[in-house]
């Protein structure tokens, strides 16, 4: 040991070389950490945006069975356009998600004989949706499946592809002095292009309730049909935790009241008669063309401008949002809410979904269904 120590002392040490070596090691480690962070973020987004294998299996099985048993197809067109009934609209390309919305709604409804559900979907999922809702009953309610991409059926009231409600991730500090790592995050969901076809698709209807496919209904919704919205076009939940000035990066410089609340899709009561009177759709498409240079925020900006002063604020007890991103929601608040909104990336049908919130969604699945079992959807 003495010999080793003596030898070590006899070797001259260049501190510059040691410093240089440590910096190289640090830079390599930092580069590797950045790589893994980017890889993790990419894979997370991929998992969020990709349809799970089980749901793809279900859609394919249902499509095949539809063409084997197409004579089973039947329509109840007299109810589909009856303005005296309660009409619910769901935009979705997800069979299970839309089924949970409908099932949870009828389970809690006092009377379902007057309920009509319209599921607007795309070509790829149309036949799977048709077969699913033909082979499953929802008490006395009826379900109509529409292909929003079919020009032969709706003419001008079609799009080249279905667009679902758009979600914008907004982060802002909890207070002025809080570091960025403690920023609060909110997902603001708003109408997509498809929503602006509603007055044309449902020409005979005067009022509809639009439900996003990431909600679960826990109470009877019949009171929504007797709301007096005071001439407003849309009833929506206002999100006062997100002010208009906090959306400035998306909206640019426009004449919004800076401290006014934003609002969300999820549960919306729409007065189609008033919508037509004010020509809301034409206003929206005009604004979209004007904002064509804004790739990310054009839909948000156009929607907020279109519905400025046309939002009737629903009571906050109607909807509790955040179940798709916020781990800290109050369980008692969840139980009391009429509608649970899983806005955010962690949808309840994904493996990434927040486990403690999934149970409120999964209990409305039909666990005895043959296709769900064969495609491993029930796990």
216 pLDDT more than 90: yes
248: which 2 tokens?
């400035």
Whole-number pLDDT of residue 177: 53
| CA gap 183, 155 in Å, rounded | 46
52-375: CATH topology: Spore Coat Polysaccharide Biosynthesis Protein SpsA; Chain A (3.90.550)
Q: What percent of the chain has pLDDT over 90?
A: 51
Whole-number pLDDT of residue 7: 83
Mean pLDDT of 121-131: 93
What are the boundaries of each domain within the chain? Answer: 16-46, 52-375
| CA gap 211, 314 in Å, rounded | 14
Whole-number pLDDT of residue 147: 92
Q: Which of 29-33, 65-69, 257-261 has the highest average model confidence (pLDDT)?
A: 65-69
132, burial (CB in 10 Å: exposed 0-12, middle 13-18, buried 19+): buried
* CA distances for 354 relative to 22, 183, 327, 350, angstroms: 41, 20, 7, 9
Mean pLDDT of 350-360: 92
Whole-number pLDDT of residue 39: 65
119 pLDDT more than 90: yes
- Can you give the chain as a three-state secondary structure string? CHHHHHHHHHCCCCHHHHHHHHHHHHHHHHHHHHHHHHHHHHHHHHHHHCCCHHHHHHHHHHHHHHHHCHHHCCCCHHHHCCCCCEEEEEECCCHHHHHHHHHHHHHCCCCCCCEEEEEEECHHHHHHHHHHHHHCCECCEEEEEEECCCHHHHCCCCCCCCCCCEEEEEEECCCCCCCHHHCEEEEEEECCHHHHHHHHHCCCCCEEEEECCCEEECCCCHHHHHCCCCCCCEEEEEEEEEEHHHHHHHHCCCCCCCCCEEEEEEEEEEEHHHHHHHCHHHHHHHHHHHCCCCCCCHHHHHHHHHCCCCEEECCHHHEEECCCCCCCCCHHHHHHCCEEECCCCCCCCCCCCCHHHHHHHHCCCCCCCHHHHHCCCCC
Whole-number pLDDT of residue 186: 84
Mean pLDDT of 83-105: 96
pLDDT confidence tier of residue 201, bands split at 50, 70 and 90:
very high
37 pLDDT more than 70: yes
């Amino acid at each position: 040991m003495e010999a080793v120590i003596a030898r070590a002392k006899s070797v001259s040490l260049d501190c510059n070389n040691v410093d240089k070596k440590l910096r190289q090691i640090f830079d390599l480690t930092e580069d590797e950490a950045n790589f893994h962070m980017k890889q993790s973020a990419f894979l997370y987004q991929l998992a969020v945006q990709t349809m799970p294998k089980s749901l793809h299996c279900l859609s394919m099985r249902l499509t095949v069975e539809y063409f084997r048993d197409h004579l089973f197809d039947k329509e109840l067109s007299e109810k589909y356009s009856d303005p005296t009934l309660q009409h619910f609209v769901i935009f979705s390309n997800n069979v299970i998600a839309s089924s949970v919305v409908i099932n949870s709604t009828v389970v809690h409804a006092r009377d379902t004989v007057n309920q009509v559900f319209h599921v607007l979907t795309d070509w790829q999922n149309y036949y799977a949706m048709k077969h699913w809702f033909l082979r499953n009953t929802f008490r006395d309610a009826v379900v109509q499946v529409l292909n929003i991409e079919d020009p032969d059926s709706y003419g001008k009231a079609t799009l080249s592809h279905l667009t679902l409600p758009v979600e914008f991730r907004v982060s802002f500090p909890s207070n002025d002095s809080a570091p960025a790592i403690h920023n609060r995050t909110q997902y603001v969901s708003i109408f997509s292009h498809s929503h602006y076809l509603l007055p044309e698709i449902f020409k005979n209807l005067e009022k509809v309730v639009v439900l996003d496919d990431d909600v679960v209904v826990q109470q009877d919704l019949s009171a929504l049909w007797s709301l007096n919205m005071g001439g407003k076009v849309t009833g929506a939940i206002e999100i006062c935790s997100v002010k208009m000035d906090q959306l400035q990066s998306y909206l640019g410089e426009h004449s919004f009241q800076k401290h006014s609340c934003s609002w969300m899709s999820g549960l919306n009561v729409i007065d189609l008669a008033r919508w037509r009177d004010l020509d809301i759709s034409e206003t929206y498409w005009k604004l979209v063309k004007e904002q064509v240079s804004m790739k990310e925020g054009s839909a948000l900006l156009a929607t907020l401008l279109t519905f400025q002063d046309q939002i009737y604020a629903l009571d906050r007890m109607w909807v509790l949002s955040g179940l798709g991103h916020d781990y800290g929601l109050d369980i008692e608040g969840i139980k009391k809410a009429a509608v649970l909104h899983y806005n955010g990336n962690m949808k309840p049908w994904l493996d990434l979904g927040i486990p403690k919130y999934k149970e409120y969604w999964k209990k409305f699945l039909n666990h005895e269904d043959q296709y769900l079992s064969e495609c491993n959807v029930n796990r």
